[in-house]
Amino acid sequence: MRTSRRPGSALALAAVSAIVLTACGGEEAADPNAEITLTINVYGDNFSLPDNRSLYDAYEAAHDNVTIVENRSDFGTHHQNLQARLTAGSGTADLEVIEVGQVSGYIGQPDKFVNFNDHGVDSSQWTESTVARASTPDGGTLIGLPTDIGGLAMCYRTDLFAAAGLPTDREQVSALWPTWEDYVATGDRFLANSPKVKWFDAGGHVFTGVLGNEAQTYYDAEGTLIVEKNPVVRDAWDLTVDAIEKGQSAALAEFSPEWNTGFQQGQFATITCPAWMMGYIQANAADTSGKWDIATIPGGSGNWGGSYVTVPAQGANTDAAAELAKWLTSPEQNIELYKMIGNFPSQTSTWTDPEIADYTSEFFSGAPAGTIFPASLENAPVQVYGPQSGVIGNTFAGALNSVEQGTDPDQAWESAMKDIQAAAGEG
């Protein structure tokens, strides 16, 4: 789930890019039938769909003594509050969801979380790299259970493509942009015939999409911050700035009211589209059903988003919370979430399940989402994340938005570098 960045996400829709869980307090019950309230802290709008409640209702129906309460805050506030409460030693939820770009920042605090390795979790249901991101270097402690995974595609408006004289068939559309440079060139073609509609929603999403097929971006495998000297990051920045300067961006900050309006009013024709974005579009622009389709992402593969359900050790009901976390991240529940809101399951066993593999989306013109996103993930590199990866991604999104508002690109880059160094403790 992202992504805020979610995107990714977030269970984002990301989700649980996306579900995020909290708890209310009380002592770990000696009586297994004692009444327990488990609160779930979630981040972002991606978790706000009412269908998510049906999962909680199903769990409560099977556990008469358990009541689940979901709380929600925005991406930044959620993660900041979690760290503050971990440091204070009190105040966390029973279950807390952590976005994939943030989880590395908590690995150095394994004593503050329940170790799922001690709760009978079969970690082989996920890819080795997915588990490794939420594990201590020796693999002895697993602080979070994976929810969804991003995968990358490109969602586009067929009606706007047709009006601009571009093909609308998803295979023909995919052939327009084998590379991100081709994507920007296609944007020039689009604008030439559709001057009142922008090519994409925001530069930050193009930037994230370009980096979604790179193994090392902000950190190297040793955990060293390499963002300023890594040429792939600067190349992604320069390409995105080029597209912005060509007038291709609608300059809509993600998860803002203006962004939602952009979906509803058709203010842009394409959007970098991790799996969880499907649910976001459906929730915020229901009237656009049948006007969207899904094409291959430039470069052919990539990932953006995902999250982990954790159980803080300070909670009073850690055993009950761990059981709920295991249930919510089981293949069965994640298949249901995918069908509800588009969060692509991270459990590899689900990828060949007919409910996933044969899934098509009526909202997205019958696009075979069940094959598009696994194909994107199949050749995607194992990406390196560091303690501030999520913060860095948000910093770049903000910097590119400032470019869209008129800031000099070099000035915006230098400002972003200073902010990133400060966040990483190197300023």
User: What integer is the mean pLDDT of 318-323?
Assistant: 96
pLDDT interval class at 50 (50, 70, 90)? very low
Question: Is 63 within 8 Å of 34 (Cβ atoms)?
Answer: no
Would you say residue 63 has pLDDT above 80?
yes
Would you say residue 270 has pLDDT above 60?
yes
pLDDT interval class at 154 (50, 70, 90)? very high
| Higher-confidence position of 6 and 228 | 228
Question: Is 294 within 8 Å of 155 (Cβ atoms)?
Answer: yes
Helix, strand, or coil (residue 256): coil
User: What integer is the mean pLDDT of 27-39?
Assistant: 74
* Residue 93, pLDDT score: 97
**Which tens digit of pLDDT belongs to each residue from 355-372?**
899 999 999 999 999 999
Share of the chain above pLDDT 70, in %: 90
User: What integer is the mean pLDDT of 102-130?
Assistant: 91
The full set of domain ranges for the chain reads: 36-149+306-347, 152-301+353-427
User: What integer is the mean pLDDT of 122-144?
Assistant: 90
d(CA 99, CA 133): 11
pLDDT interval class at 45 (50, 70, 90)? low
Q: What is the CA radius of gyration of the chain?
A: 21
Point out which residues pair with 43 in neighbouring strands: 73
Domain 152-301+353-427 has CATH 3.40.190.10: yes
Edge-first strand order for the sheet with 152-157 is: 198-200, 268-274, 152-157, 292-296
* Residue 106, pLDDT score: 93
The two most distant CA atoms of the chain are separated, in Å, by 69
**Which tens digit of pLDDT belongs to each residue from 180-230?**
999 999 999 999 999 999 999 999 999 999 999 999 999 998 889 999 999
Q: Mean pLDDT, the chain, as a whole number?
A: 88
Would you say residue 23 has pLDDT above 50?
no
**Which tens digit of pLDDT belongs to each residue from 382-402?**
888 888 888 899 899 999 999
Point out which residues pair with 109 in neighbouring strands: none
Would you say residue 9 has pLDDT above 50?
no
Its pTM stands at: 0.82
User: What integer is the mean pLDDT of 76-93?
Assistant: 94
pLDDT interval class at 380 (50, 70, 90)? confident
* Residue 74, pLDDT score: 84
d(CA 354, CA 277): 22
d(CA 271, CA 268): 8
Same fold, 36-149+306-347 and 152-301+353-427: yes
* Residue 228, pLDDT score: 95
241: closest CA among 7, 404, 418? 404
* Residue 24, pLDDT score: 42
pLDDT interval class at 424 (50, 70, 90)? confident
pLDDT interval class at 104 (50, 70, 90)? confident
* Residue 8, pLDDT score: 38
The token duo for 388 is 């501030």
CA atoms within 13 A on the CB side of 64: 1
Question: Is 15 within 8 Å of 8 (Cβ atoms)?
Answer: yes
Segment holding 292, helix H or strand E = strand 292-296
Would you say residue 14 has pLDDT above 70?
no
Point out which residues pair with 274 in neighbouring strands: 152
Strand-strand pairing, 292-296 and 198-200: unpaired
Would you say residue 26 has pLDDT above 80?
no
pLDDT interval class at 21 (50, 70, 90)? very low
* Residue 29, pLDDT score: 46
Share of the chain above pLDDT 90, in %: 65
* Residue 30, pLDDT score: 54
CATH for 36-149+306-347? 3.40.190.10
Cα→Cα distances 13→44, 115, 138, 146, 216, Å: 8, 25, 31, 13, 25
Mind giving me the DSSP string for 346-408? Answer: --GGGGGSHHHHT--BTTTTTB-HHHHHHHHHHT-------TTHHHHHHHHHHHHHHHHTT--
pLDDT interval class at 22 (50, 70, 90)? very low
* Residue 52, pLDDT score: 60
Residue bearing tokens 């995919």? 174
Q: Which of 69-78, 134-143, 204-213, 320-329 comes out lowest in average pLDDT?
A: 69-78
* Residue 115, pLDDT score: 98
User: What integer is the mean pLDDT of 283-309?
Assistant: 93
d(CA 145, CA 322): 10
* Residue 386, pLDDT score: 83
Residue type at 39? Answer: T
12: closest CA among 309, 380, 313, 323? 309
Helix axes of 275-284 and 369-378: crossing angle, nearest 10 degrees: 140
Helix axes of 203-211 and 180-193: crossing angle, nearest 10 degrees: 150
* Residue 243, pLDDT score: 98
